[in-house]
Amino acid sequence: MTTTPPGCGRRLLSHLIDERAASGHQRPFASIPNTKNAADGYRDISYGVFANAINRLAQWLLDNLGSPATPLEPIVYIAVADLRYHILSMAAVKAGYIVFLPSPRNSQEAFTSLMAECGAQKLLIEERPSPAVALIEKTRTMQKFAIPSLETLLDPTPVPQITLNVAWEEYRFKPFLQIHSSGSTGIPKLITLKHGSFTGLDAYQMLDTNEAFGRLGDQRLLVSFPPFHMAGLIYGLAFPCWCDSTVVLPPAAPLTANVVNEIHLQASVDYSALAPSVVTDLAKNPQYLQNLSKLKGLGFAGGPLSEATGQLIVPHTILHAGIGASEWMCSPLLPKTPDEWPYFRFNERQGGYEFRERGEGLYEMCIVRQPEWELAQPVFVNFPDTDEFCSKDLFSKHPTKPGLWKYVSRLDDVIVFSNGEKLNPVTFEGLVTTSPDVKGCLVVGQGRFQAALLVEPADHDEAEILDKIWPLVEKANGPTVKHGRIAKDYIFFTTPGKPLPRAGKGTVQRAAANKLYASEIDALYHSLQDGRQRKTIRQEKEGILLSSFEEAKSSISSYLCKELDIAKVGDHEDFFAYGLDSLQLINLVRAINTSREVPIDTKLVYDNATVSKLTAALLERNVERYDFNNDSDDEELKESWLAMDEMKKASTVLLTGSTGNFGSYLLDHLLNQAWVDNVVCLNRSANARGRQFDSHRERGLGIDLENVSFYQADFSDHRLGLRDEDYRHLSSTVDLVIHNAWPVDFNRNFRSFKSSVDGVQHFIDFCKSHKGRLIRLLFVSSIGATSNWGSAAPTPRSKIPEVELTDWKVARTGYGQSKLVAERLLSHAAREIGLPVSVVRVGQLGGPVLHGDDHGKWTEKEWLPSLIRSSITLKALPQNLGPVEDIDWVPVDVAAVALTELAFNLVHIARPLKTGASFFHLVNPQCTQWSKLVPSMTSMVSQDVKLVTFVEWVSILKESVTAAGGFQGVDEGVNPAAKLIDFFDNLQDRAIRFPKAKSTLLETRETVKVCKTLADLEAVGPEWIALWMRQWRWSG
């Protein structure tokens, strides 16, 4: 552990440099190239020579510029990036000036703003001025002074010392030097850095463990960042002094991978701090990669580094992510393992770091003042009048390891589309720019309906480049929100001679680029509005062909299969049942218009939403209409869907739908079973591990997911959306499938669940795909599959039996019908091929009860929590629930235990083959009535709540919506039942039409024989209601 130096955190840089010079400090301050070619070698610059150069330049300033006209008069310096920046920064302090270091890459507009803000009258330049000087001179009249050459300043001949005779306390809050923001979100802003900002980094040595000091101390540190950049000042000036490392500077030439590699070979570099673009280029050269093995570590900062690049680097050296900002300098970090390189482990306790949720799994880093450790909080030197600072930097959590945070983007980067969807474009842009054919790119679309991509190519053969980068764009599109996905039509290119504007650190300035290309962006969107087709190189390749009826049908079908990522679209099946959204609709219209002289609009597709009907409409031909309301057609379809080992201990369970409410409790319980070695989770989400972690932490469940593997899946695909090697591996290792995933939407029609039903068949195929073994399958069905049991029941009050139901009429809704078809598919597979199958019909799940108030809650948007919350507001509670009066609810965590028992039974209890599926009912065998719970509930919700009939309660709910001026005026926070008014209205209608009707009950005789949890379960009572109320944390 690094020993804390005397006076740590209370030392000024100027004093430290002079002290080391006077003591003959052995380690050099810097190492600089002998020429502009790194191959010509390096020479070290001692603290004595460095301090002497500072004194020489301080005297030169006083002799040539005179004493400052005002205290800390600003002066501007712009020149080749070499050691003079470091010398001048310290010399200006001794001479009583403050130096402003602008980037030479600024635009005229940026210089105009910055010079006005700075107010300087004196400009320091080289004998051969930078082209940026001409831009500065256009903004204001300034006195110019040619600074001495570096060789002149480094002359070892001693000069009189100029001492800064001030105490740390006096200078802590005084300005030290000035730089500016990157300008990535607009015109760059002037930033004044104070002495205490730099001494705060020194104070990091006082903290428990500071990773940077242990890593950089006594090392030769190559710093590629320019000295007018924040990272260049931290790595190139502060850390060399405070860590006692030697800063190795690159030659004054473009910093390519070739140059960096040469420096590694010539300058005895221990550690490199590089921009991500340079790291990416190094990783592309096998020899350069091999040479990295000579380093003790490599750091990157200033932007993200792709995971692919990082994985190429880590076998050769330790990779470190760096992060900082002018407001808070850089962060005190704690050590982490090499494989955690994309993440940061902040010293949250002593540094005062808090991560506040900002939605979409992103958290903003905020710093809260810690009086005990305030010396090590530079941000409060820059902002002394505040007790907390929020950085606008967004991070995501490590999916399994608490305390690890990955930088994602800035709040400013987020694009908000016209439909309210949001996109963080940084990852997308980072992937596309890994192409050697791309200099830079920018996702645009703020306030538009969808995103577009502006590409700055390495050359301007657009057709060739588009074909080359399209696979990267498709890869980036995969995990991106739909409105953020880039279609080929929406890729356009920069104009030669009009490059994307960049900040000093090389990143594209987002706001400036949007402004520079505003007219081109407007023209692109105008040309593509309402499904028009822009005349591009892709037109002939990807348009829809309309030369004949059959060709048109085939072309439309193929297009939709690709757009919707499905295997087949039936000629008579509604597009929208497959999930065709408004953006995909516009893309379809645009593709059609490539082959038409007279363009169509979206209405034609809405009115003709099948392949056959649309083809006929486009070719002006009639086609036989298909009757979608014909019940016999649906029954034939359902029947067509039905046409179609040794016992062992289950060690691997495959679970679908794990990130949902019930799925999270189920996964948590499975992981605690001795008979379960590991769990494989198949989810549609690309970030299922992160969502799982968040879901478990929110519910107080275990967050150790080490024994869980996550795969992104598509159940409508015959291979479940898995790669062939993953499919083969899982089919040979999985012992039990628990298929829990199913879209819950009671408004959708039966046909729209086709992809889910197909998924069941695909799981049947999966379970029998490995020769010599059959994987057991437990299907989580629903009592929705039996919701119309009364129409087929032998007697009015007969319970629903624990068997396969063969009458299609027993299911009422599209949701229930799809579950019923799935049940029959599975039962058919069990009879025909001997597949071991259990079907579990799950009833109403309540809130958790096993672990008190802080292990989740009944999801408040569901009907019962909504009913109770609205009852508090309406001051009326229904004393009965009409057709759902009988209460056989099971708490969600108890249900997870029960289903795990049923899964164990499927695995370990032998059955004769080909006897069909086993059916179980996961409902509470101890049924009670709502009216029995009402007396105790009344005191819980509010003393002044009156009891009314259910019919009256629904009427009061409707009146509250009317009184609010409609649904838009309803406050869903206190009256959430309003948004479920159709659901309650339907129950009310049934209560009026059948006032004596009772709830349909499910038989549990066979279930309780094998499930002790349900057999021992008590009825829902006041204690559970009270617990759920506490979990919701609201009352009257």
The pLDDT confidence band at residue 822, using thresholds 50, 70 and 90, is very high
Q: CB-based burial of residue 351 (10 Å sphere; 0-12 exposed, 13-18 middle, 19+ buried)? A: buried
Q: Say whether both 448 and 561 belong to one domain.
A: no
- Mean pLDDT for the stretch of residues 232-240: 93
Query: Where a domain ends, among 558, 592, 626?
Result: 626
Q: Is residue 632 part of a domain?
A: no
3-class secondary structure, 502: strand
Query: Where a domain ends, among 345, 368, 397?
Result: 397
| Least confident segment among 95-109, 575-589, 732-746 | 575-589
Q: Say whether both 268 and 292 belong to one domain.
A: yes
User: Which CATH number belongs to the domain containing residue 680 in this structure?
Assistant: 3.40.50.720
The pLDDT confidence band at residue 792, using thresholds 50, 70 and 90, is low
Whole-structure pTM value: 0.50
Q: Say whether both 805 and 705 belong to one domain.
A: yes
Q: Indicate whether 655 pLDDT > 90.
A: yes
Q: Say whether both 64 and 139 belong to one domain.
A: yes
Q: Is residue 404 part of a domain?
A: no
Q: Which residue segment(s) compose the domain that 930 sits in?
A: 863-896+923-1032
Q: Say whether both 685 and 601 belong to one domain.
A: no
Residue type, 974: V
Q: Which residue has the higher pLDDT, 731 or 566?
A: 731
Q: Indicate whether 391 pLDDT > 60.
A: yes
Q: What pLDDT is stored for residue 997 in this prediction?
A: 54
Q: Indicate whether 861 pLDDT > 90.
A: no
Q: Indicate whether 579 pLDDT > 70.
A: no
Q: Say whether both 928 and 789 belong to one domain.
A: no
- Mean pLDDT for the stretch of residues 966-976: 84
pLDDT tens for 493-538 read: 999 888 998 876 677 888 788 889 988 998 888 777 544 444 443 4
Query: String of b and e for 676-707 (b: at least 16 CB within 10 Å)?
Result: beebbbbbeeebbbbbbbbbbeebebebebee
Q: Which residue has the higher pLDDT, 7 or 209?
A: 7
The total number of structural domains in the chain stands at 5
Q: Is residue 634 part of a domain?
A: no
pLDDT tens for 877-886 read: 999 887 788 8
The pLDDT confidence band at residue 476, using thresholds 50, 70 and 90, is confident
Q: Indicate whether 646 pLDDT > 90.
A: no
Q: What pLDDT is stored for residue 595 in this prediction?
A: 72
Q: Say whether both 363 and 491 belong to one domain.
A: no
d(CA 158, CA 164): 18
Q: What pLDDT is stored for residue 539 in this prediction?
A: 41
d(CA 205, CA 520): 51
**CA contacts within 13 A on the Cβ side of 416:** 3
Q: Which residue has the higher pLDDT, 531 or 147?
A: 147
Which helix (H) or strand (E) element contains residue 444? strand 438-444
CB count in 10 Å sphere of residue 944 = 9
- CA 382 and chain centroid, separation: 31
d(CA 74, CA 68): 9
Handedness of CA 676, 682, 686, 690 (dihedral sign): negative
pLDDT tens for 314-363 read: 999 999 998 888 888 988 999 899 999 999 999 999 999 999 987 768 89
Kindly calculate the radius of gyration of the chain based on its CA atoms and give it in whole angstroms.
35
| Percent above pLDDT 70 for the chain | 88
| Least confident segment among 635-649, 814-828, 963-977 | 635-649
| φ/ψ of residue 493, rounded to 5 | -120, 155
Q: Indicate whether 388 pLDDT > 70.
A: yes
Q: Say whether both 821 and 724 belong to one domain.
A: yes
Q: What pLDDT is stored for residue 483 in this prediction?
A: 63
Q: Is residue 1017 part of a domain?
A: yes
Q: Indicate whether 640 pLDDT > 70.
A: no
Polymer length in residues for the chain: 1036
